[in-house]
Amino acid sequence: MAELDFEMTLDRMFHEPPAFPDSEAFAKLVELRLDRGWSVRQIGIGVAGLVAGLVGAFQLVNSRVLVDLGGESVRQVALIREGAAGLTRAGEGLSSLPVSGEVMWMAVALGVMAVAFAVTRAVEEFQ
């Protein structure tokens, strides 16, 4: 049978580190070294970030990506205009139906709600 006092003493011996007489001086020395190195690290990180930013900007300018991006945006605007024209033509086709536009929008809203309810039900089923 195990002795409770012996086990408690053994447990305390291994859970508490031994105290050294110069522990406070050692802690202050380590803190001084860390503080001294921290300012050098901050300067180094700042310089490295500045150099990396300059290199990135230089490569961006030299790769002509901004010029290509401007041309691509002009093409995208033309595609959006064509899509909008297609939507207006579709809207004109819907206006010839015997129902009003409000009925069509209500049907679309109900369809979206039905899909949302189906998705929430599926999520609940699989959890």
Give the whole-angstrom CA distance, residue 38 versus residue 88. 63
pLDDT, tens digit, for every residue of 100-118?
A: 667 778 888 999 999 999 9
Q: Kindly list the averaged pLDDT for each block of 10 residues, start to end, along the chain of length 127.
A: 78 78 88 78 88 84 68 75 78 66 83 93 81
- Percent over 90 (pLDDT), the chain: 12
Give the whole-angstrom CA distance, residue 58 versus residue 54. 6
Confidence at residue 69, expressed as pLDDT on a 0 to 100 scale: 65
Give the whole-angstrom CA distance, residue 33 versus residue 116. 59
